Amino acid sequence: MHLFLLNTSTIVPASLFNLINTTSTTTTTTTTTTTVNRSNTNKNTTNNSNNNNNNTSTTIVDKELVKYAVDCTQYQPHTIPNYIDSKLESKDILKQNSVPSHMAVILSEDTIIDDNNNSNHNNNNNKTQTELFNRCSLKLCDIILWSIFSKISRLTIFDPTGLLKKNIDTLQTIIDEKMCYDTLYGGSKNNIIHIDWLNNNNNNNNNSNIDKLINLNNIGGIKHYFIKIGIVSVEDGKLNLVDITKKFARESKLNNSTKALDDNYIQSNLPRYMGGEDYEPQVAIDFSNQNIFSGFLPWHIKLTEFMQYGMIEKRCGK
């Protein structure tokens, strides 16, 4: 239960679950509004107050939500942005600062590597590997889409196997195609998605382009969505810090300076896909099935809330 106390209602399983609850309340809005048994206690209190104050307006909102729930269950991705927007706007307590600006996604090994292959069938190995890779990248597209429309501005994807990072070019092409050009998906006529791949090194171009596009936002009914994505693996954790230590040791020896290492030095020396102003993820969704930390970046997770997908799923099943 306590998992839902976090204000990150933008995570879709949780929000879908709440939506299922709202469908049940539309039938009983007149009678029992205080005894609604929802798992998110924050929403509980505000909904009770909303319902008590204004019975008629909430029924209208609920009907719209029902419509979108039906849409979502039929999985039409282009309705998702409106659905998420309406969710965010209808509940007044969900102000902007309750949505995390930087989210981390920790993948499990099973989604990327298939360990159950026989060594005899080498060709099949490669095929299943690429299949898995494609499936994984398409699933990532879903997550990226949801986080874009939930106004999360930065995603860090952690892959314990290192495969995603090695094949980052193919990953980028797959995701770019699906997101930006596939009109049945997120990139419909009115929504244009721009992904800033932090692993690439073209700094200046991206910044100027994004500024131009921000100015063009909402002209002609076209919305531009931006998101920064960084892909990280295990070597970027500890080994990076050791490298920074080496660098600092060499510099301080050369310059004979007595300055001590501090947070700012480390932050400014992190590579682009791990550094920047908002380098700490506020929320991390953990898709591995066990209660294990899989070596996610040690320096960044000082105040990160961890949510384990395995645990959330079980509660949805109830």
Residues of this chain that bind other proteins (CB under 8 A): 2-3, 6, 160, 234, 237-239, 241-242, 244-246, 248-250, 252-253, 256, 260-263, 266, 290-296, 298-299, 301-307
Q: Which of 182, 73, 72, 189 is nearest to 138 (CA)?
A: 182
- Give the DSSP H or E segment for 247: helix 238-255
Chain position carrying tokens 């400014």: 268
* Least distance in angstroms from the C-beta of 18 to other proteins: 19
Contact status, residue 45 vs residue 70, Cβ threshold 8 Å? no
- Looking at beta carbons only, is 55 or 290 nearer to other proteins? 290
Q: What is the C-alpha radius of gyration for the chain, rounded to an integer number of angstroms?
A: 22
- Looking at beta carbons only, is 11 or 72 nearer to other proteins? 11
* Least distance in angstroms from the C-beta of 226 to other proteins: 28
* Least distance in angstroms from the C-beta of 7 to other proteins: 13
- Looking at beta carbons only, is 176 or 271 nearer to other proteins? 271
Starting at the edge strand found earlier in the chain, the sheet holding 305-308 runs: 191-197, 223-232, 154-158, 102-106, 283-286, 305-308
- Looking at beta carbons only, is 28 or 41 nearer to other proteins? 41
* Least distance in angstroms from the C-beta of 256 to other proteins: 7
* Least distance in angstroms from the C-beta of 284 to other proteins: 9
Phi/psi for 17 (5° steps) reads -60, -45
Q: What is d(CA 194, CA 179) in angstroms, rounded to the nearest whole number?
A: 9
- Looking at beta carbons only, is 6 or 213 nearer to other proteins? 6
Reduced to 3 states (helix: H, G, I; strand: E, B; else coil), residue 219 is helix
